[in-house]
Amino acid sequence: MSAVHLSRCDAYERAAVEASIDAVWTADIARGSRVLVKPNFLKAAPAERSIGPHPEVVRAVCLKLLEAGAEVTIADSPAFGTARGVAKANGVITVADELGIRVHGFSPIPRYIKTGTPTNLTLQLARDVLDADAVINLCKLKSHQQLGLTLAVKNLFGCIVGKRKPAWHLRLGDRDNLFGEMLVEVYRHVAPVLNVCDGVIAMEGNGPSEGDPRPVRVIAAAADAVALDVVLATLVGFDAELLRTTRAARTLGVGTPDLADIDVIGAALEDWDIRDWKRADGMPIFFDPVRVGKSTARQARYVLGLRTR
């Protein structure tokens, strides 16, 4: 059976967060390992918006790695802006500076990975991720207008660099469950050693960026991201079978998509009696090509402006 560890955490008070991370931590990190922490850095916004993991959760995760003697970096490829720009806005850069940890965006030149059958896809994954000795996947518990929820498996979509992400929306769109299968293939090839979710203050409603903060008071972790997603969906009263990634994981034989096969440790799911989770208004996965073109042009102008300052 897969194991998912849950810890109740009522607020982003440092001692409480550190205690919860200690309670759910199962990663065995070798001294000297190069460990990449991949947070959900969607866009620049204050931590109070609950768009990404709170700085105190990032701090506690990084401290665990530093205590193990790891060389730690924080990196992502945000949908909007730059990794450092997002980190400055949400307060993670302050944590990183205090701990002596570098925050950076992924290299723009990916490594091409063929998934083989049955999906037969060619993924463009960040070299930084593939070259790390270990990856810690640090997600946020949020609603998502296209996928229902965005959790651990979906967070690793950020390992596809830059504007190649909307290209996958255009290519796969809502055809069968190909988009979900692509997300599971990204997870399978990134293979994080631990998936950690910040659900102390989650986001319900029209996530992943325009929803409403919602106290859920949980920090969770698992080596199996599929199992973690199933447990977290169940915790907020969301049918895990509605998650494209759960269905895709079952099709591809990746992870543990059935709650009956998951051992929940540390706290019981019944401790969270959430029946009024506000779901997101549905949107198609397929992106309007005109919208993608305009977004790409804006991103190019932004990056050019940074380089000329």
Which residues fall within 8 angstroms of residue 241, CB to CB, at 6 or more apart? 247
Which residues fall within 8 angstroms of residue 97, CB to CB, at 6 or more apart? none
SS3 string, 84-130, reads: HHHHHHHCHHHHHHHHCCEEEECCCCCEEEECCCCCCCEEEECHHHH
- Look up residue 183 and give its two tokens: 């997300």
- Look up residue 185 and give its two tokens: 């293939």
Rounded mean pLDDT of the chain?
Answer: 92
Q: At 145, phi and psi to the nearest 5?
A: -70, -25
Q: Please name the helix (run of DSSP H) or strand (run of DSSP E) that holds residue 271, with its range, or none.
A: none
As beta bridge partners, residue 265 has 5
Q: Which amino acid is at 116?
A: G
By C-alpha distance, which of 303, 244, 248 is closest to 77?
303
> Structure pTM?
0.92
* CA–centroid distance for 275 within its chain: 24
pLDDT digits (tens, 9 = 90+) for 94-119: 999 999 999 999 999 999 999 998 99
Of 122 and 166, the structure prediction assigns the larger pLDDT to 122
Confidence of residue 55 (pLDDT cuts 50, 70, 90): very high
Q: Packing angle between helix 178-190 and helix 225-235, nearest 10 degrees?
A: 120
Rounded-to-10 torsion of CA 185, 190, 195, 198 = -90
pLDDT digits (tens, 9 = 90+) for 282-296: 999 865 554 544 444
Task: Give the up-direction half-sphere exposure of residue 301: CA atoms within 13 A in the CB hemisphere.
Answer: 6
128, pLDDT greater than 90: yes
Q: Percent of the chain, pLDDT > 70?
A: 92
State the Cα–Cα distance between residues 148 and 230, nearest whole angstrom: 12
pLDDT of residue 171: 87
State the Cα–Cα distance between residues 126 and 124, nearest whole angstrom: 7
The answer to whether 224 and 237 have CB atoms below 8 angstroms apart is no
Which residues fall within 8 angstroms of residue 121, CB to CB, at 6 or more apart? 114, 115, 182, 185
pLDDT digits (tens, 9 = 90+) for 237-264: 999 999 999 999 999 999 999 999 999 9
Delineate the domains of the chain, giving CATH numbers in brackets. 2-293 (3.40.50.11440)
